[in-house]
């Protein structure tokens, strides 16, 4: 997979279950690079500033690694979620959280899901199981997303334009 762009483009779809899509992803040339495992994420904010700017600061622990991610405001699109994103690896997650707290940031939402990551050269696919349902996320260039969508036999009628934090909050899990 190419180095990640500083703009994230993805499509999230509600699916009945993740297992049936595994063979379809393999048929389209995807390979599983991270088997299903728990991902823990925390959103951080200071005086609700980031949320009011439609931005987010997230720490994430997944597959034995910790990452810090900033996501900027969304670019308007009826179907795809497009937004600036900067992300870096973190050697010591607890130390990073202590730094964020010392800088006046507070954890505003903790989320957990089970995620499996599949990749091919032009696209990443994530199979997610959350407390409020299962999802497929396709991330890459818009054309590659649409081609994969057709190849999987899925339509856009199950597209979910809300973010996981929005869905967590709506489900009363914040």
Confidence of residue 174 (pLDDT cuts 50, 70, 90): confident
What is the C-alpha R_g of the chain?
A: 16
SS3 of 77, please?
Answer: coil
Residue 82 has pLDDT above 50, yes or no: yes
The answer to whether 119 touches 31, Cβ cutoff 8 Å, is: yes
Q: What angle do CA 36, 159, 56 make, to 5 degrees?
A: 70
pLDDT value, residue 114: 98
User: Encoding tokens for residue 166?
Assistant: 């929005």
What are the domain boundaries of the chain? 7-170
Kindly report the CATH number that applies to the domain delimited by 7-170. Answer: 2.40.320.10
Other beta carbons less than 10 A from residue 52's beta carbon: 9
Query: What average pLDDT does this structure show over 162-172?
Result: 94
Lookup result for tokens 């909050």: 169
Lookup result for tokens 């991330």: 139
User: Encoding tokens for residue 108?
Assistant: 């505003």
Query: What average pLDDT does this structure show over 148-167?
Result: 94
The answer to whether 39 touches 158, Cβ cutoff 8 Å, is: no
Could you read off the pLDDT of 28-76 as tens digits, one per residue?
999 999 999 999 999 999 999 999 999 999 999 999 999 999 999 999 9
Residue 81 has pLDDT above 60, yes or no: yes
* pTM for this prediction: 0.92
User: Where are the alpha helices (H) located in 18-87, listed in sequence order?
Assistant: 19-27, 49-52
pLDDT value, residue 2: 46
pLDDT value, residue 4: 57
pLDDT value, residue 1: 43
Report the residue count for the chain. 174
Q: What is the DSSP letter of 163?
A: -
């Amino acid at each position: 997979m190419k180095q990640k762009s500083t703009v994230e483009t993805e499509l999230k779809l509600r699916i009945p279950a993740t297992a049936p899509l595994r063979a379809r992803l393999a048929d389209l040339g995807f390979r599983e690079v991270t088997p299903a495992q728990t991902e823990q994420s925390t959103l951080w904010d200071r005086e609700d500033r980031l949320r009011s700017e439609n931005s987010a600061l997230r720490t994430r622990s997944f597959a034995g690694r910790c990452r810090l991610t900033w996501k900027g405001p969304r670019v308007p699109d009826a179907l795809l979620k497009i937004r600036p994103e900067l992300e870096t690896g973190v050697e010591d997650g607890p130390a990073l959280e202590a730094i964020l707290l010392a800088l006046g940031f507070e954890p505003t939402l903790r989320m957990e899901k089970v995620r499996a990551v599949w990749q091919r050269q032009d696209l990443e696919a994530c199979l997610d199981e959350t407390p409020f349902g299962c999802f497929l996320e396709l991330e890459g260039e818009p054309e590659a997303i649409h081609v994969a969508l057709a190849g999987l036999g899925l339509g856009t009628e199950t597209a979910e334009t809300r973010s996981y934090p929005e869905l967590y909050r709506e489900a009363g899990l914040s």
